[in-house]
């Protein structure tokens, strides 16, 4: 038996760990955005999983590789320099702590508002004083990913048989859209693996609060999703594709037809993982409610009335793993 010394464990405490799962899940739906049937595949994937992979997405590979290398440059800076861009408020650089309520993970990250008008001072610092870290790389990448996200929600509306195909995309396209962009770095954790044979939790289980999340990572796996039967499965990494998550707000807008997906990230013992996620949210004042055309005659909304601002305020009072939507359900689920 391997005896783990207390000082070694203290280094990771209180970050949780779990047994490594070697099996990769091969059942993730794949949507080819250039296929004529893409809209119905999107709807099916959202109903069955709340998650799917996108190929033929139209985001230029040069934007992807450039941003990844800029992100690596940033995360390779000395700790004292990175700390000047933090702590997150929620925007800026953060390390180990996720959110304001005591969640921790084996992670460092940069969280940015996609609207440059609302850049926090810290975000300004990152780009003004770190010439290695190019704002233009973020701008090009985010613009291309947003375009893809708009197309995906428009195809979704089409697949759902909604007359106004822009009903969701206009919320993301709105100049007041409350969207954000996150770059995560999960350093390797060889010591713990050697000591205990376990993987550190990089980002604990949670659902994303927004409408849609668009994720891309390097070729290091670690992302896991929770299937309907409660089992956690690992998503095979694919550095040239994107992964889409249904967020809590989309669950509400479809009156529960699509479910937001619980996911988490395990750090790899040997390889670092870099991920970049665009979280598409509505304007703060927007009412989040089931789209009337998705509520059948005689049916009711499953949710109380709330604005995105009210939901976000409540989300920021919650812990990562909390069932945030539970507070807004008319009939609370367990």
Ligand X SMILES: O=C(O)CCC(=O)C(=O)O
Ligand Y SMILES: C=C1C[C@]23C[C@@]1(O)CC[C@H]2[C@@]12CC[C@H](O)[C@@](C)(C(=O)O1)[C@H]2[C@@H]3C(=O)O
Q: Which of 68, 108, 178, 208 binds Fe ion (CB under 5 A)?
A: 208
68 binds Fe ion per the rule CB under 5 A: no
215 binds, among Fe ion, ligand X, ligand Y, none (CB under 5 to 8 A by kind): ligand X
CA-to-CA separations, 276 to 64, 69, 76, 217, 241, in angstroms, rounded: 10, 12, 16, 6, 12
208 binds ligand Y per the rule CB under 6 A: yes
What does the binding site for ligand X look like in residue numbers (CB under 6 A)? 182, 184, 203, 208, 215, 217, 223, 263, 265, 275, 277
316 binds, among ligand Y, ligand X, Fe ion, none (CB under 5 to 8 A by kind): ligand Y
90 binds, among ligand Y, ligand X, Fe ion, none (CB under 5 to 8 A by kind): ligand Y
99 binds, among ligand Y, ligand X, Fe ion, none (CB under 5 to 8 A by kind): ligand Y
At residue 310, φ and ψ (nearest 5 deg) are -65, -40
Please choose, from the candidates 180, 161, 183, 184, the residue with its C-alpha nearest in 3D space to the C-alpha of residue 172.
Answer: 180
| β-pair type (30-32, 51-55) | parallel
124 counts as catalytic:
no
The sign of the torsion formed by the CA atoms of 294, 242, 270, 320 equals: negative
Q: Which of 279, 303, 311, 328 binds ligand Y (CB under 6 A)?
A: 279
Spatial distance between the Cα atoms of 304 and 289, rounded to a whole number of angstroms: 8
CA-to-CA separations, 44 to 21, 30, 259, in angstroms, rounded: 27, 11, 12
Q: Which of 69, 77, 90, 97 binds ligand Y (CB under 6 A)?
A: 90
Q: Is 204:96 a contact under the CB 8 Å cutoff?
A: no
* Beta carbon of residue 293, minimum distance to ligand Y (angstroms, whole number): 27
- Hey, which residues are catalytic here? 273
Residues in contact with Fe ion by CB under 5 A are: 208
Residues in contact with ligand Y by CB under 6 A are: 90, 98-99, 101, 103, 111, 180, 182, 206, 208-209, 279, 315-316, 318-320
């Amino acid at each position: 038996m391997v005896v783990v010394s207390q000082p070694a464990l203290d280094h990771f405490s209180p970050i949780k760990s779990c047994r490594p799962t070697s099996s990769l899940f091969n059942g993730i739906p794949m949507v080819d955005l250039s296929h004529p049937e893409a809209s119905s595949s999107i709807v099916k994937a959202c109903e069955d999983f709340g998650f799917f992979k996108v190929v033929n997405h139209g985001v230029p590979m040069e934007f992807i590789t450039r941003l990844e290398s800029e992100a690596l440059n940033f995360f390779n800076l000395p700790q004292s320099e990175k700390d000047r861009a933090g702590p997150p408020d929620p925007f800026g650089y953060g390390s180990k702590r996720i959110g304001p309520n005591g969640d921790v993970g084996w992670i460092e990250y940069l969280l940015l508002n996609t609207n440059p008008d609302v850049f926090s001072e810290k975000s300004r610092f990152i780009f003004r004083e770190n010439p290695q870290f190019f704002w233009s790389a973020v701008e090009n990448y985010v613009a291309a990913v947003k375009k893809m996200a708009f197309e995906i929600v428009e195809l979704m509306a089409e697949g759902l048989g909604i007359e106004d195909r822009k009903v969701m995309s206009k919320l993301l396209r709105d100049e007041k859209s409350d969207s954000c962009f996150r770059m995560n770095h999960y350093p390797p954790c060889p010591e713990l693996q050697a000591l205990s044979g376990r993987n550190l939790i990089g980002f604990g289980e949670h659902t994303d609060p927004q409408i849609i999340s668009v994720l891309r990572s390097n070729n290091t796996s670690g992302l896991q999703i929770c299937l309907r039967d409660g089992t956690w499965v690992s998503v095979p990494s694919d550095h040239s594709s994107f992964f889409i998550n249904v967020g809590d707000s989309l669950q509400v807008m479809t009156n529960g037809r699509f479910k937001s997906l619980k996911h988490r990230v395990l750090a790899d013992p040997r390889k670092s993982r870099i991920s970049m996620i665009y979280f598409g949210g509505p304007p703060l004042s927007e009412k989040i409610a089931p789209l009337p055309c998705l509520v059948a005659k005689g049916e009711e909304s499953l949710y109380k009335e709330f604005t995105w601002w009210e939901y976000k305020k409540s989300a920021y009072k919650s812990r990562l793993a909390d069932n945030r939507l539970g507070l807004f359900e008319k009939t609370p689920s367990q």
